[in-house]
């Protein structure tokens, strides 16, 4: 990893810690970028070099989490993503992200997870999909969303 990549990871991790700290004190909507960067200990310009706003930062966190998960668990087809084994792996992975899942729910942002999951899956299967394949894809996204956000209290 290059020093620039390491620096970017430190920035993102600092922002992530700061965001979840602030979300324990106040609602997501009432957190300003100024508060976020001050709490994270970074310059406002640094934040805007990487993100357009708080929501794009949250989307980035979700995308990164999904990319990391897929680097470890690599189903090759949409159908494999429906298998119990894979869905249980999703659940076990989420056990390591309890605070983030609860933070998304409490901030009223869980729908962003579903949107990003849909985008993520479409990116993984970039060919022209049939309607049946899209039904499977969106069914998977909805099923995993329901597992995560209807059972989040148990993680």
Residue 155 has what pLDDT? 63
Q: Give start and end residues of each alpha helix (H) in the chain.
A: 3-25, 33-40, 44-50, 54-72, 84-95, 98-106, 110-124, 131-150
Residue 127 has what pLDDT? 77
Residue 49 has what pLDDT? 92
CA 133 to chain centre: 23
Domain span(s) for CATH 1.10.10.60 in the chain: 1-50
Block mean pLDDT (10 aa), the chain, length 155 = 87 94 91 96 95 95 87 78 80 77 84 89 82 86 82 70
> Which fold would CATH assign to domain 1-50?
Arc Repressor Mutant, subunit A (1.10.10)
Residue 58 has what pLDDT? 94
Identify the CA nearest to 119 among candidates 54, 67, 57, 55: 67
Neighbour-count burial of 69, counting CB atoms closer than 10 A to its CB (0-12 exposed, 13-18 middle, 19+ buried): middle
104 within 8 A of 81, measured Cβ to Cβ: no
- For the chain, state the CA radius of gyration: 17
Predicted TM-score (pTM) of this structure:
0.84
């Amino acid at each position: 990893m290059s020093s620039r990549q390491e620096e970017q990871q430190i920035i993102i991790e600092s922002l992530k810690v700061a965001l979840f700290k602030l979300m324990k004190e106040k609602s997501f909507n009432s957190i300003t970028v100024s508060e976020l960067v001050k709490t994270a200990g970074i310059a406002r310009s640094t934040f805007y070099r990487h993100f357009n706003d708080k929501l794009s930062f949250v989307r980035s966190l979700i995308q990164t989490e999904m990319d990391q998960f897929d680097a470890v668990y690599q189903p090759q087809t949409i159908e494999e993503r429906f298998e119990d084994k894979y869905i249980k792996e999703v659940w076990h992975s989420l056990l390591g992200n309890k605070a983030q899942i609860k933070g998304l729910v409490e901030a009223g942002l869980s729908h962003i997870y579903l949107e990003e999951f849909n985008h993520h899956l479409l990116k993984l299967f970039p060919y022209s999909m049939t309607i049946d394949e899209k039904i499977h894809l969106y069914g998977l996204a909805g099923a995993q969303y329901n597992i995560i956000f209807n059972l989040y209290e148990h993680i």
